[in-house]
Chain A
Amino acid sequence: MVTLKKPALPLIKFILNNNEVSTSLPAGMVLLDFVRYHQHLTGTKVGCNEGDCGACTMLVGELRDNALRYRSLTSCLTPLGNVHGKHVVTIEGLNMEGLNPIQQAMFDESATQCGFCTPGFVVSLAGFCLSEKNATTQNAIAAVDGNICRCTGYKSIERAAAKVAQLMQARQNTEPVAFVSENRILPDWFSGIKQRLQILRTALNGQLHPTDAVEWVGGGTDVYVQKHDTLKDAPIRFLFDDTNLKGINQQGNRCIIGAAATVTDLAESPIMQQHFPHLADHIKLISSTPIRNIATIGGNLINASPIGDLTIFLLALDAALILRNNDQQREIPLRQLYKGYKKLDRQADEQLASVSFELPRHNTYFSFEKVSKRTNLDIASVNSACCCTLQGDHIHDIRISAGGVAPIPRLLEQTNTFLKGRSVTDTTIGQAIAIAQTEIAPISDARGTADYKRLLLAQLIKAHFMTVLQHAEH
């Protein structure tokens, strides 16, 4: 590898498997490259370099409210700076004398053929064992929803996942780390990690941000796909662990989400779960477990993709943004953020601090629709959300948003205006769809032809009303 001539780079320290490591390599280098080519641990594989195959899956453990919490992530998109002070686990860190029970399950079910994707699957399943998730087969399978296997057809992996779920059934309320180390599911040194992380954290001065930072990185799941070459050597300000940007809270009737909250944080938020009864179904349509674990809400909004799933979700909720520049801050509605394809109403030094929206009331119904070539772990052909307040059989207020049909993610303002005050009938919906067609300008691309996207949006609007009426009846 090339020796980089960079002056006094900040020292990054973390625990890699059972060893404390430190490096002065650029903090923007991705974890995968560091582990494979600098630590020479080659069990983790390079598959796609864009978070879409899971061959590079690792686990990262960190202290949250003094509890040790593990999450899977795609190490091809994770800068070293985002694992500073944490515990990184690779396939090598899961190996014990003989096979561990997760590996044994994969072995017994012949859930490995060429073997290239296999370490990723094993690591993801270990992530399930280290999580607080209920010990169901469904949850074990969900843990590997970001892992692609081209050989097995997954049925054997499903069978192995079912066995792994069984392993965890006796856990009950035991802390996962304690349970897996006591039951020899993972190496026993896992039980000492919490203490070692506490020591490491105390030793760190927390100063990772170079003063000359020109790039800002949250979870990295989009920027490292778009401009990996620029970021790998750049001075970066890391936002992912900025505690000021974390948290999902309720103030009055508003939900306030820190810009660095992850999609997983959103999915696990009791506030969100309470107000969005179908949240789990919506979230399942958005990327994969390891990506959701690191992708931030702020990143999803600021990357300005015309089909950002959470952007569409939050547009329908008429979310407002707090943009901050040192001690100055301003609030703008999300619907005014996008000025053109990848153009934002945001100054270069303004930082997205938080997103807030009014929580749906009892007669407000929310619906999220997304269709892509592959239902899960894919980018939408068209996505759309609808937040509809009914008064009797009339629409009191409605916001339908749509992605993939214009250069920017947008609210269908004219359609929404038309619908307000009307009762929901087939005729009304038909007219609304016709108006919606005048508000959009889809293009043909790898995700579908323009004609298809027009038809699809019409269908998704129909689907919204079916959902809203169905929920209203219950």
Chain B
Amino acid sequence: MKNIDAYTHVRGESIYLDDIPLIQGTLFGASFGSPMAHGTIVNLDLSEAAAMPGVVRIFTYKDITGENQIGGIVPDEPLLSDQEVHFCGMPVAFVVAESIDAARAAVKKIKATIEPLRVITDPREAQALGELIIPPRTFQLGNTNEAWSQCKHIFEGRADTNGQEHLYIETQGAYAVPQEYQAIKIYSSTQGPTAVQRAVSRVTGLPMHQVEVEVNRLGGGFGGKEDQANTWAALCALAAHLLKRPVKYSLHRMEDMAMTGKRHPYSADFRIGLNEELKIVAYEVTFYQNAGAAADLSPAVMERTLFHCTNSYFIPNVKATAYSCRTHLPPNTAFRGFGGPQGMFMIESAIAKAAETLGIEASVIQERNLLQTGDEFPYGQKAQSEAPECWHKATELYHLTDLRKETTVFNAANKWYKKGLACMPVCFGISFTKTLMNQARSLVHVYTDGSVGITTGAVEMGQGVNTKILQVAAKVFSIQPDKIKIHTTNTFKIANTSPSAASATADLNGKATLLACTAIANRLKKMVAEELSVAEDAITLQDEFVWVNGQKTDRDWKSLVMAGHIKRIGLSEHAHYATPEIHFDATKEKGHPFAYHVYGTAILGVTVDCIRGTYTVDTVKVVHDFGSSMNTAVDLGQIEGGIVQGIGWMTMEEVVYDKEGRLRSNALSTYKVPDIYSVPKEIAIDFLQTPHDNLAIFRSKAVGEPPLMYGIGAYFALRNAVRAFNNKGYFPFDAPMTPEKVLMALYATQQEGIIQPHEETSKHLAVDK
């Protein structure tokens, strides 16, 4: 079944935030972001801006009717800066005007005098100064101190990954409309309607039942709208609350890029020990997470880095410590993978370092250390592992040995072009790591004409969650998909929702829908069973008809529903689902936090142009553990899209801040995401159907985040290609592998030094904007 929105999408008829017809009297907002990364506001002159034509009012922290606070996990983030600014782009004032142009023009007239304070952009510097968001955390298994003596080979090193801009094509935005009795309705482009509701409630001082948040769909989220949609919604709500007029704010791309956080950059030190058989005996890693200026979701992201620090491998002795470091960048936030990719990059770097020094293929070490069922993760959960099956199927199906031979032959024959290969196994845990978030609700109404309306906490952002939820209802009722409508996500219909995140949205909301639909179906079946005096389990719903003991009756779905209504059977159900079995004790850092894991292996091949430093990704060949895919079209799209986004993170996507904390890659002209010419020439996906029971909806494993991490293989494939040209040069583990880094590595000499961050050293860009 195709994505249920595809029809209106291709016709341009789908409604996004900026497409909602305006209510008369609507005003438009624009925010004044701090021009400096860290400093004290000495003076804020709004007079000229306020006098601009069309300006209705300019809001500052003084106007906040509730609390000036939007921090979710840690209350450390003011909505509008009061005395200090903590990052470039931090909202200081919010202009509301009669038009977008008038609001934006007025923002340019605001003058802030800011006394500069020390700017920190490097997480290691922050850690050394004790600037931490939360206390450090350590995951431990076995005893690494004792294990080093058993190791024949020990390698140490450092690895770095950069951030990643979400670049959802629809920018952030909100539209707040005052209602009677002080209530506010907010249309928001958010993955977390309840998070928006909470933030608005806190900032305005209104109780949550006065704040209605409605989400139709997003033009992409990728984690960027999990927590960071709150700001714009709270600003609009505050203004609407005080002005009693609708206020809309749809961000300009450059505002969005400058003011919102991104994937966390990480720096790490690792130490890895292997025995004679190349079994990894011990692994120690210290992560320095660049959290930015406020907590946002950083503590949770950091936790998932620890959960995934050993990726797909069993290592008996592990010590992993993570620091969430406060810097003066915009608060970094959720991004597909949520800290997992960074953890995996570090272990893969450690393995690559070992392999390069030993002069062997990394895949030899990777294969020997794959997780087996029953192996323990550093956090105590026992693996139900599909890792060996994915690996072996991939290497056989795609003929890894032959690929390797072809690469060697090619590299021997070509002076200026080199090929590289890498294998990338992935193991990703499914569930919110905060156990309480693993609950969801679904509200199902069956109407007397047989049509069905469903509301859940899930937000549709292209991942196809509404399609899967619709499939659940269609299956339980055994009716045609066109009889079912998935309604907008709305906090007045479904309360206390978890954000659409952690790949778990379809599982949680799908299971809640399954419960709701099943309850209604069972009531109807019971009614028929009583009428016919047969056992309840003799009644089935099949192809829009009631069947009794395997025989089709002449009662169709519509007449069944009407009969139920006449008999006063409840045709609506609000069901609650909470993932069973999961638990985690953060005091011991042990537990069973994940409902299940998703596994897979990718083989990536690249070609590097050794004159120019440019490259192509030739192939990505994957065996992916789907459990049992309930929608192959949707799932294939998630895999292909995830891979390309992961490759983008590892190759061309380079977030550049200068030393003053100003974003230099601040537009699509300076921040490049993959285009149609830069994607792998071939992406082959093998749907591995794994037989074991799992907690996924219809055993169809979550698919949103795991494939992104196949992209990490692109870094190592490029590294291998570069080393085929120059295996003597100093070559730090530092992603992304931009054409610049490739060219510098191709012609690097042996000198080892510290990694030079890519810094702006001039006042203007090569194009002036």
Contact = CB atoms under 8 A, between A and B. Distances in A.
A99 B10 CA distance: 8
B568 interface: no
How would you classify the secondary structure of chain B's contact residues: helix, strand, loop or mixed? loop
B23 interface: no
Interface string B592-611: 00000000000000000001
B677 A375 contact: yes
B728 interface: no
A463 B12 contact: no
B11 A150 contact: no
A443 B743 CA distance: 17
Interface in B166-225: 166-171, 217-222
A40 to B, nearest CB: 8
B669 A151 contact: no
Interface in B640-681: 640-645, 652, 654, 656, 664-665, 667-670, 672-679
B418 to A, nearest CB: 15
A43 B13 contact: yes
B683 A153 contact: yes
Contact of B738 (A36, A373, A376): A373
Interface residues of B, number: 96
B3 A47 contact: no
A373 B760 contact: no
Contact of B613 (A117, A152, A371): A371
Contacts of B675: 145, 148, 154, 374, 376-377
B738 A107 contact: no
Nearest to B616: A375
A459 B7 contact: no
Contacts of A456: 612-613, 740, 743
A225 interface: yes
Contacts of B461: 114
A107 B7 CA distance: 7
B18 interface: yes
B678 A375 contact: yes
A69 B14 CA distance: 30
Contacts of A141: 676
B677 A150 contact: no
Interface size class of A (residues with CB under 8 A): 35 or more
A50 B766 contact: no
A445 B104 CA distance: 27
Given A113-B464, A444-B760, A150 B222 contact: yes
Contacts of B743: 452, 455-456, 459
A2 B54 contact: yes
B637 A152 contact: yes
Given A232-B101, A342-B768, A445-B762, A45 B13 contact: no
B739 interface: yes
B767 interface: yes
B693 interface: no
Interface in A420-456: 443-452, 455-456
A65 B739 CA distance: 44
Contact of B614 (A1, A42, A47, A375): A375
Nearest to B166: A150
Contacts of A103: 10-11
B396 interface: no
B218 A446 contact: no
A376 B640 CA distance: 20
B102 interface: yes
B758 A449 contact: yes
Contacts of A118: 9-10, 12
Interface string A332-360: 00000000011000000000000000000
A91 interface: yes
| Highest count of chain B CB atoms <10 Å: which of A156, A371, A381, A445 | A445
Given A2-B54, A2-B102, A443 B761 contact: yes
B668 A153 contact: no
B747 interface: yes
Nearest to B678: A374
A115 B18 contact: no
Nearest to B108: A229
A199 B211 CA distance: 55
Interface in B11-69: 11-16, 18-19, 21, 53-54
B150 to A, nearest CB: 43
A232 B99 CA distance: 14
Nearest to B655: A446
B412 interface: no
A97 to B, nearest CB: 11
B614 A371 contact: yes
A202 B546 CA distance: 68
Interface string A213-245: 000000000000110010010000000000000
A208 to B, nearest CB: 22
Contacts of A376: 675, 677-678
A107 B667 contact: no
B10 A122 contact: yes
A77 B740 CA distance: 30
A110 interface: yes
B670 A446 contact: yes
Interface in A83-128: 90-92, 95, 99, 103, 106-108, 110, 112-119, 122
B494 interface: no
Interface of B: 2-3, 5-16, 18-19, 21, 53-54, 98-102, 104-105, 166-171, 217-222, 250, 252-254, 461-464, 611-614, 633-634, 636-637, 640-645, 652, 654, 656, 664-665, 667-670, 672-679, 683, 738-740, 743-744, 747, 756, 758-762, 764-769
Given A114-B169, A148-B169, A153-B640, 4 more contacts: A52-B667, A150-B673, A371-B613, A463-B612
Top 5 closest pairs, chain A to chain B, by CB:
A43-B12, A114-B462, A116-B219, A115-B9, A153-B644
